[in-house]
Amino acid sequence: MSLTEYRRKRQFTKTREPEPGKRLPQGRRAIFVVQLHHASRRHYDFRLQIGDALKSWAVPKGPSYDPNVKRMAVEVEDHPVDYAEFEGEIPKGHYGGGHVAQFDHGVWATPYDPEEQLAKGHLKFELFGDKLKGGWHLVRSGKPARQPQWLLFKDKDEYAGTLEADDLLADVTPPPEEDAKRAGRGKAKRKRETEVPVQSATRHRDWAKLAMKLPGARKAAAPTEFFAPQLAKLGDAPPEGDQWVHEIKWDGYRIVATVARGKAKLWSRNALDWTDKVPEITGAIEALGLKSAALDGELIAGSGTRDDFNLLQATLSGERQGTLSYALFDLLHVDGVDISKAPLIERKTLLEQILGHGTRHLSYSSHAVGDGEQAFELAGQQDFEGIISKRADRAYHSGRGDDWRKTKALHSDEYAVVGWTAPKGSRSGFGSLLLATPDKRHGWAYVGRVGSGFSDTLIKDISKRLGRAGSKEPTVYVPENDTDLRSAKWFEPRFVVEVNFRGIGGQGLLRQPSLKSIRDDKRIEDLSDSDRGSGTKPTKAAAKKTASKTSASKTATKKAVKSATKTARTPPKLSSPTKVLYPDDGYTKLDVANYYAAVRDHLLPEIAGRPLSIIRCPAGTDKPCFFQKHHTPGLELVEFVRLKEEAGNNANYLVVNDDAALMELVQFNALEFHPWGSHADDPDRADRIVFDLDPGPDVPFDEVKRAAVDVRKRLIELELESFLRTTGGKGLHVVVPLNPGCDWSLVKPFAQSFAEVMSQAEPDRFLSVSTKRLRNKRIFVDYLRNGRGATAVASYSLRARPRAPVSMPLAWSELSKLKRGDAFTIADVPARLKRRRKDPWAGIEKIKQNLSKFSAE
């Protein structure tokens, strides 16, 4: 999303509105804000953060809680995220002149890709504010208008009612009298309030009376502080017998909750207050209508499987907008009655009654009685991390014990990072992390090193944590002489990581470890109470059994591991294959998928490892398409790199590294691929320059071809070799490889100067500015593709245009016969590639040239 229009309409020396470019806060969730604006006419400004901007609508009458009332919402220009904090007067005579007041703010979520929903014309989302709560809809109107018009209306949920935005103004700063007279005051149907009442989502029953019937129940004061949760020990196989119940092991964050006087508080496992971090969970617990309670469960995203853990982390950090829920598996107190001493099965029965059929953000974690092996196998088939087995007849007690046991499908555990090895080959930062676990005899014992499972972003983040300090002498007990550790750097246990592995090998070292995640929610001290038991290492017999279990072809463990491996590298199944994406030509989604499968060996070298933007057309090229550069919910095979943007914030950019990731984007209706001119692991260093020859109206294509030849000649004079491709549109690209690369601070001025020289030499033929009114019968030498964050269409990419044209690399000798810039299409390129004897761009990556000799000019 661009803030160009926002900049154009404002003079920042004369208004207090924020200018784009301010560094955004890190690690917070996506926000929404509603502002009451007394401009020429009174209206509400409704804004949702998507990526690095606030998508904005003007809603004249404000949101209504009545699902039958649909309010017009006029789409306006995007605003910077820090506009959410703006309040005050915009000077008269300036755009939007008048008073702006804060009405409501909070976080928001959607289970689907927000940009794709907007492109389709229906965004379904939830708001978690003080005034605006629950589900909402934005639906694009079909009426023609100068600015796109949408309808904003409430979902039919537990918050639906008759309240209007104007009923909720008690704590909103009133405008100056002059603004109120000019713009209007609004109309309230009732006494103005400060927040919408919380409606109970549960049946009103005497829970205290039911609780007192449980064995061991006693009256007690409402809990108000954190309580340490009960923990499970890791086992090799589920325990046997009907005295055990087996639950899904959710892959999320452990959360305990208390309710006192109807108000909920949430804590992480290490006693951090999460009440405000997950307002949807806090609100859902309060909506149960309990006077007091103590609850235990797991915070999850999506379905709570292993693949959903990354979505959970990304949602909590604001990188994505997933839907969060709280899977509850225990109840320790309810309405003044302590039931922690009652048998687990009785506590769970009462919990299930209180939850009823569950709510949007609360769910009951059910269980199976006995037959743990079957439960474990089923969990693995459904891609859960494993199961938790609990004694059905036991009380709840904090800490780890034998009453709760966990069995993992793919083994994972948490370890302290105690050092690092130097990188090898093209890798930067470090080669692997050295891991240790608490040990009774030695304090800490080395368990191996992990060198896989790291994204480029993680490598950079962890490298900062590691620094360059460290000792050559191990700080922990090392059970075997590993020659690769001779150059390692060691330090005291510093932070916690979770690692997947395939069993325990000789000397207690991990087999085939790979990083799962950095566990900032865990402390080094927590590892002294690991799920294997305090300070104990697995015996040789247990290690042998674990290794055997992992490799046995008929076990549920191997099924889960095999399934997970297959999922990680196999393209997703293509949905809606008959959907027509090119309506003028009849090409379907299957045709697009078949095309990219045919050209992937040629396309991947052009885009792999580079930050990538795509153009997606969910409803076909005749409907709104949209430009996407950020990683979003639902993408499981496409990786990302965290990069700093112009506004100063960091965002997750798409990165494709293999054909499975490519085809996942095709499944998401991606038609065009536009890579950066640099790689994700070195984004500030360009290795490509692209001159886009963009003809104005009435410019014959022969003139475009002549311009390409002229560009090539000028580059040869500068001792720079160049390559040619069609754009799939009206123009041509002249591409200059750089090896080794150059900083963007050199590349962009060079490209601009080159374009200006051509424009000055032949002003009747060339332009170096993008002004459209000046382009008639001239060619714009577009150098703007050559800046950090700028993109150009990739070779072999389709274009979202009639005939499904392709951006096609050519030899310079082929230029004379070329008839048009969109000469090659989806229908003929695969066959052309089969006939082609030589790639016209062969060896482009081996050419040694750069701009260093121009740096002093």
Closest CA to 65 of 186, 165, 151: 165
- Cβ distance 749 to 756 under 8 Å? no
Selecting among 55, 249, 348, 489, the annotated active-site residue is: 249
For residue 105, give Cα distances in angstroms to 51, 111, 267, 428, 651. Answer: 17, 20, 23, 41, 22
Residue 666 CB neighbour total at 10 angstroms: 24
Q: Taking CA 842 as the corner, what is the angle to CA 840 and CA 844, rounded to the nearest 5 degrees?
A: 110
- Known active-site residue 748: no
Q: Are 294 and 223 in contact (CB under 8 A)?
A: yes
Alpha helices in 356-429 (DSSP H): 372-381
Q: How far apart are the first and last CA of the chain?
A: 35
Cα 300 from chain centre: 15
Query: Pairing mode, if any, of strands 399-408 and 230-234?
Result: parallel
| Nearest alpha carbon to residue 417 among 312, 506, 501, 488 | 488
DSSP per residue, 741-779: EEEHHHHHHHHHHHHHHHHHH-TTTEESS--GGG-TT-E
Name residue, tokens 């491709």: 725
Burial label for 405, CB within 10 Å (0-12, 13-18, 19+), is buried
Using alpha carbons, list the distances in angstroms from residue 273 to 226, 311, 453, 853: 9, 21, 30, 57
| ω into 577 cis (within 30 of 0) | no
Structure tokens at 334: 């309810």
Three state DSSP letters for 70-111: CEEEEEEEEEEHHHHHCCEEECCCCCCCEEEEEEEEEEEECC
User: Among candidates 525, 543, 544, 545, which has minimal Cα distance to 535?
Assistant: 525
Residue whose C-alpha is closest to residue 549's, from 407, 425, 435: 407
For residues 598 and 169, what is the distance between their CA atoms, to the nearest angstrom? Answer: 59
Question: How far, in Å, CA of 241 to CA of 568, rounded?
Answer: 35
Q: Give the strand pairing for 412-421 and 496-500.
A: antiparallel
Helix, coil or strand: residue 136: strand
Alpha-helical segments (H) within 269-343: 279-286, 309-316
Task: Enumerate residues 6+ apart whose C-beta is below 8 A from 749.
Answer: none
Give 672's strand partners: 615
- The H or E element spanning position 337 is strand 337-338
d(CA 247, CA 379): 9
- Catalytic residue numbers? 249
